[in-house]
Structure 1
Amino acid sequence: MQLLHLRTWLPALLAAALLAGPLLQGCASPGLAAPPPRPKTMDQAFVEATDRFGIDLLRAVAAERPRENLFLSPVSAQVVLSLTANGARGETQAEMLAALGYAGMDPGAVNEGMRDLWGLMAHPGKKVELERANGIWYQTGFAVVQAFREVAGGYYGAELHQTTFGRPQAAEAINRWVARRTRDRITDLISETTPDERMVLVNALYFKGEWKERFDPERTEPRPFHRLNGSPVEVPFMHQTERLGYMAEEGLVGVRLPYGEGDMALYAFMPDEWEGFLEGLTPERYRGWIAATAEQRVRLAFPKVRMRDGHRLKDPLKALGMERAFDSEQADFSGLLVGSEPLYIDEVVQKTFLEINEEGTEAAAATAVTMRTGSAPFSDVVEVVLDRPFLLAIRDDRTGITLFMGAILDPS
């Protein structure tokens, strides 16, 4: 299965090239396409793929760190890996697309979905900032395959830069680029590069949303949060009583806190028992909880959160079936660089930032791909106290795209 079928794609690629402008070798792309308009809807198969991959990745990462806080952006990883898949061929590409949740999707719809996602992020609504950027760095002396350049610019808005891997300046340039695009929330995505690297593909994502109804700081006060082992820890809790999204079923309670005009929201789902909760989480259950959420007057206590996290995603992605891409003997990325030696993915690394306070939420993520050679009955007022481990998600409800997911096990 190929993402780039020239007979099918040539008109789209020519249009993308006209929009994107020339991508000059050796410098940042000077004429990137303007962001597309915000889509009114998104392809349902694409939305379901983002949910499927997001939950699969969260579960795979949690399996490695079952008793720790987690915060990641599956969509950041999905964007940069989908971009990378345009340069893969044969079984390598097929495995990547399946692991990314796209099994059964028309390959062209993947790039179209990514272009719609670009439009979604470019127009998030009032009182919400949402920025994303894609960057590609490639080794001096090599040329990027033209078809890949066109798709990278036209569908992903990616900037291309030439560099010399192995020199300190290469890592410094990538980290400066990420820092600018995440408001300095992520400044050290990669520590170094090596001379045998040939390409690094990066997605940066930044979110800042103001609550539709802010919490009053005067009402913030410490109270116990009960950790996995049952021991309490004192943390500051924010309080408000408002009409919020609420759902409850046996063993689970959930709440929805809207940002800005209400189209984007934070969801928190707290089970009675955390053990086994993520193992039983499925896209269908997740969407069912979202659909069951309805407005209700809620007396809410929400812990303040500030955390940084980092993940090496190679093993979790391999656990999802993306194996050939990481195998130096089997990987086929011949659609990336002209006439280069065989390439494979050496590592996929992501770093994230999250802060939840009385005003709203700030979150950032950056993901790098390193290519190397070689409902229940309600009373008038319900009370929700998120004082046990809970699942957290930041979602665009107009399109159904979940941008961030996490597990808050200890907000201290």
Structure 2
Amino acid sequence: MHSAIFLCLTLAGLCTVTHGHHLDKGQDEHNSTNPAALKLYKSVADFAIKLYGQLSSASPDKNVFFSPLSIISAFSLLSLGAKSATRTQILEGLRFNLTEITEEDINKGFHDVIPLLTRPNSGFQLDLGQALFLKDDLKPLQTFLDDAKAFYDTEVLHAKFQEPKEAKKQVNHYVARKTNGKIVELIKDLDPETELAIVDYIVFKGTWKKPFDPALTTEKDFFVDQETTISVPMMHGTGWFDYYFDAELSCTVLQLDYQGSATAFFVLPAPGKLKVVEEALSLDTLTKWAERVSRNTAEVYLPKFNISASYELNEPLARLGITDVFSDHTDLSGITGQPLKVSKATHKAVLTVDERGTEAATTTAIEMTPLSPPPTIHFNHTFLMMSFHKETNLTLTISRIAIPNKQ
């Protein structure tokens, strides 16, 4: 008889308005004092792309949005209580190459990078954390609790899982508080056999280095598909931007920097080329884009959008090789010494992008533009967005915006 673990993963993103480079040319030198980050970022990027492929193919015409960092950190935490084949399967499914990185390196990596991600940074805020909710009479092994606290700074709380409605209220209230009200109902139902819930949350808020002027935002057409056109508030800016036209993949990559230590890629495929771009996503592709974006003049139209997504991750993760934790074959005895299995892994994410910037700036920049009309980059059909932490190169979020106003 296996009791159940409920994994809850949340992401709330507010990108309030624009330019470094994810995977930039000097990344090895930049991270030379942070070897943990250097060992993690490739696996996080690879996992992000693989899971994106699973979620996007399951919903080819819909929005996709999730935080690979949130999911990986939750399952890495879970792996502390996994043994033998179950632990190996979790870590390899997360795209860690265990011939190149040890379990100790993975855990130490998160221990080292989480403070870098969450330290106060003007114009950029990232709150990231984990919590364990335990059934009142559950007694976890001290080794597991010590490791969870040491590597992931995990809070340990109790919940009345014998009363599912009360436990659901407790967990949802915690998540709402930690995400500043962005995620208000992560859990809709609980397995009555649940004895332990792992909650992983990430709240991302950034302001663009180069804000869009709200006075220039107007309603324009966005082409959802060949038959469907909707009207969306379209931000507008003319001036110097970092971008790159990838002729091989028929897409334009616009890089917008946040103030502080984060950046975003907005990837606009040419009409009919979305699938080509999605199939070409890889660490090499991201690196190429980062190396080749260059500063030039452009006229940019980018929709404001507010999207949310919720996923049951059992099947997508099983297709990536993480199967045992959801079955009676799992070995998670390192958590309590008793049989446990994951009943459900839920990830919910909310993302808002608008033109707002900081209220005041201490410097003024004057940009010179050529007299000839600059090229236009018009995000008026399905596009991709990815955000990265520049100091560690970790992939924070990945999304496909197919319907900008779809909740």
Q: Indicate whether the TM-score tops 0.5.
A: yes
Give the structure 2 partner of residue 120 of structure 1. Answer: 116
User: In the aligned structure 2, how far is the partner of 1:346 from the partner of 1:176?
Assistant: 21
Which residues in structure 2 correspond to 1:364-383 (within 5 Å)?
381-383=374-376
User: In the aligned structure 1, how far is the partner of 2:37 from the partner of 2:102?
Assistant: 12
Q: Deviations over 1:301-327 (max 9, x none)?
A: 100101111111110000000011111
Structure 2 SS opposite 1:165: coil
Q: Which moved more, 1:304-313 or 1:190-199?
A: 190-199
The 8 Å contact of residues 253 and 266 in structure 2, kept in 1 or not, is answered as yes
The 8 Å contact of residues 61 and 316 in structure 1, kept in 2 or not, is answered as yes
Counterpart of 1:352 (choices 349, 353, 360) is: 349
Counterpart code for 2:396: L
Give the structure 1 partner of residue 57 of structure 2. Answer: 63
> Residue 194 of structure 1: CA displacement?
3.3
Q: What stretches of structure 2 of length at least 5 have no aligned partner?
A: 1-30, 359-371
Counterpart of 1:190 (choices 187, 190, 195) is: 187
Which residues in structure 2 correspond to 1:62-81 (within 5 Å)?
62-81=56-75
Q: Deviations over 1:86-129 (max 9, x none)?
A: 10011111110001011232111110111123112222521111
Give the structure 1 partner of residue 141 of structure 2. Answer: 145
User: In the aligned structure 2, how far is the partner of 1:321 from the partner of 1:360?
Assistant: 42
Q: What stretches of structure 1 of length at least 5 have no aligned partner?
A: 1-37, 362-378
Give the structure 2 partner of residue 364 of structure 1. Answer: none
Structure 2 SS opposite 1:411: coil
> Residue 347 of structure 1: CA displacement?
1.2
Structure 1 SS opposite 2:60: coil
Q: Which moved more, 1:204-213 or 1:277-286?
A: 277-286
Counterpart of 1:385 (choices 378, 400, 405) is: 378
Q: Deviations over 1:334-387 (max 9, x none)?
A: 10113x2x11111110111111111169xxxxxxxxxxxxxxxxx983321111
> Residue 69 of structure 1: CA displacement?
0.7
User: In the aligned structure 1, how far is the partner of 2:109 from the partner of 2:226?
Assistant: 42
> Residue 276 of structure 1: CA displacement?
4.2
- Structure 2 CA distance for partners of 1:39 and 1:404, relative to 1, 3 Å: farther
The 8 Å contact of residues 252 and 269 in structure 2, kept in 1 or not, is answered as yes
TM-score (ref. length: structure 2)? 0.83
Q: Which moved more, 1:165-174 or 1:380-389?
A: 380-389
The 8 Å contact of residues 166 and 194 in structure 1, kept in 2 or not, is answered as no
User: In the aligned structure 1, how far is the partner of 2:243 from the partner of 2:120?
Assistant: 23
Q: Which moved more, 1:185-194 or 1:151-160?
A: 185-194
- Structure 2 CA distance for partners of 1:305 and 1:326, relative to 1, 3 Å: same
Counterpart of 1:394 (choices 368, 372, 387) is: 387
1:225 aligns with 2:225: no
User: In the aligned structure 1, how far is the partner of 2:291 from the partner of 2:119?
Assistant: 24
TM-score (ref. length: structure 1)? 0.82
Counterpart of 2:340 (choices 337, 340, 343) is: 343
**Identity %, equivalent residues:** 25
Counterpart code for 2:68: P
Give the structure 1 partner of residue 269 of structure 2. Answer: 271
The 8 Å contact of residues 113 and 392 in structure 2, kept in 1 or not, is answered as no
Q: Which moved more, 1:104-113 or 1:282-291?
A: 282-291
The 8 Å contact of residues 134 and 201 in structure 1, kept in 2 or not, is answered as yes
Q: Which moved more, 1:307-316 or 1:136-145?
A: 136-145
User: In the aligned structure 2, how far is the partner of 1:207 from the partner of 1:60?
Assistant: 24
Give the structure 2 partner of residue 4 of structure 1. Answer: none
Which residues in structure 2 correspond to 1:203-282 (within 5 Å)?
203-229=200-226, 231-250=228-247, 251-261=250-260, 263-272=261-270, 273-282=273-282
The 8 Å contact of residues 132 and 181 in structure 1, kept in 2 or not, is answered as no
The 8 Å contact of residues 37 and 393 in structure 2, kept in 1 or not, is answered as no
Q: CA RMSD in A?
A: 1.9
The 8 Å contact of residues 262 and 389 in structure 2, kept in 1 or not, is answered as yes
Counterpart code for 2:161: F
Give the structure 1 partner of residue 9 of structure 2. Answer: none
The 8 Å contact of residues 166 and 192 in structure 1, kept in 2 or not, is answered as no
User: In the aligned structure 1, how far is the partner of 2:154 from the partner of 2:357?
Assistant: 29
User: In the aligned structure 2, how far is the partner of 1:244 from the partner of 1:46?
Assistant: 30
Which residues in structure 2 correspond to 1:283-322 (within 5 Å)?
283-322=283-322
Q: Aligned residue pairs: how many?
A: 354
Give the structure 2 partner of residue 129 of structure 1. Answer: 125
1:92 aligns with 2:86: yes
Counterpart code for 2:79: A
Give the structure 2 partner of residue 202 of structure 1. Answer: 199
